[in-house]
């Protein structure tokens, strides 16, 4: 599981949650709220800190942006839609040189996203060859398609909980990680909620594995 943090929560709570969730995704809402909070986050033990900046600009601007976070981030999220030459080519090269990873968005979780572009985005993804992809948990069919097209890549899926996808569904359809944010950090008791969600996910995954066999 990946914790999506869009705002600060007490460090004591975060370090409790960190016992159960070992990957965290950070976006601009949190960064802009208090950039110094990043120093606290990195002190905890995460397998991966993902900066979800939905990078979608020209190469020069994207490299300037990721450079600001290079000491905090293990990986960054960018849009594949912007294309390669003068955009993702330089970003991907820069991140590789810095030993950082890249996730490309192939399908978003909100209703208005249009999957008609997937064939185009797929070609970009094959050329850039990132660590993995973002595919909305609200689109199980797209998760299956992307899993089929990219056997060895990591698929991370936002949109679980507050945005409507059921816990465990994305994993059952081929995603590697589900991204959960508001359901945890907006809960009255985030730590208990974290444990409940992990349990729910485990039950669901076992169920779908049974039906698969």
Which residues are catalytically annotated? 54
- x/- map, 106-145, its own copies, by CB under 8 A: --xxxxxxx-xx--x-------------------------
Interatomic CA distance for residues 47 and 24, integer angstroms = 8
Binders of its own copies: how many residues, by CB under 8 A? 40
The answer to whether residues 171 and 154 touch, using CB atoms and an 8 Å cutoff, is no
**Residue 210: CB minimum distance to its own copies, A:** 33
For 95, other C-beta atoms within 10 Å of its C-beta total: 22
Task: Work out whether 203 is an interface residue with its own copies (CB under 8 A).
Answer: no
Task: Work out whether 191 is an interface residue with its own copies (CB under 8 A).
Answer: no
Task: Work out whether 86 is an interface residue with its own copies (CB under 8 A).
Answer: yes
Interatomic CA distance for residues 149 and 147, integer angstroms = 6
- Candidate list 42, 44, 70, 82; residue touching its own copies; CB under 8 A: 82
6 is in an annotated binding site: yes
89 is in an annotated binding site: no
Task: Work out whether 28 is an interface residue with its own copies (CB under 8 A).
Answer: yes
How far is CA 132 from each of CA 77, 151, 164, rounded to the nearest angstrom? 9, 10, 23
Quick one: 20 or 81, whose CB is closer to its own copies? 81
Please name every residue paired with 77 in a beta bridge, in sequence order, or none if there are none.
52, 103
Candidates 65, 118, 124; CA nearest to 91 is 65
Q: In sequence order, which residues have a C-beta less than 8 Å from that of residue 32 and are 6 or more positions away? A: none
Q: In sequence order, which residues have a C-beta less than 8 Å from that of residue 26 and are 6 or more positions away? A: 5, 38, 41, 49, 50, 51, 52, 72
Only one of the segments 36-44, 75-83, 142-150, 192-200 lies at the binding site for its own copies (rule: CB under 8 A); that segment is 75-83
Residues placed in the known binding site for substrate: 6, 25, 52-61, 109, 158-168, 181-182
Binding interface with its own copies (CB under 8 A): 6, 27-29, 31-33, 35, 53-54, 56-61, 64-65, 68, 79, 81-89, 108-114, 116-117, 120, 163
């Amino acid at each position: 599981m990946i914790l999506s943090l869009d705002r600060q929560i007490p460090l004591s709570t975060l370090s409790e949650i960190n016992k159960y969730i070992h990957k965290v995704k950070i976006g601009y809402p949190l960064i802009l709220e208090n950039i110094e909070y990043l120093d606290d986050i990195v002190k905890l033990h995460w397998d991966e800190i993902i900066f979800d900046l939905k990078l979608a600009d020209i190469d020069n601007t994207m490299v300037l942006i990721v450079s600001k976070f290079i000491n905090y981030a293990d990986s960054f999220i960018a849009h594949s839609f912007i294309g390669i030459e003068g955009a993702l080519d330089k970003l991907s090269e820069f991140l590789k040189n810095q030993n950082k990873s890249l996730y490309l968005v192939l399908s978003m979780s909100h209703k208005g996203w249009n999957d008609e572009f997937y064939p185009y985005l797929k070609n970009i993804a094959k050329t850039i060859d990132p660590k993995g992809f973002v595919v909305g948990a609200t689109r199980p069919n797209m998760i299956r398609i992307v899993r089929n097209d990219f056997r060895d890549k990591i698929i991370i899926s936002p949109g679980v909980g507050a945005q409507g996808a059921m816990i465990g569904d994305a994993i059952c359809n081929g995603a590697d990680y589900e991204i959960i944010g508001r359901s945890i950090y907006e809960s009255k008791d985030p730590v208990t909620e974290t444990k409940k969600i992990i349990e729910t996910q485990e039950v669901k995954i076992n169920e779908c594995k049974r039906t698969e066999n």
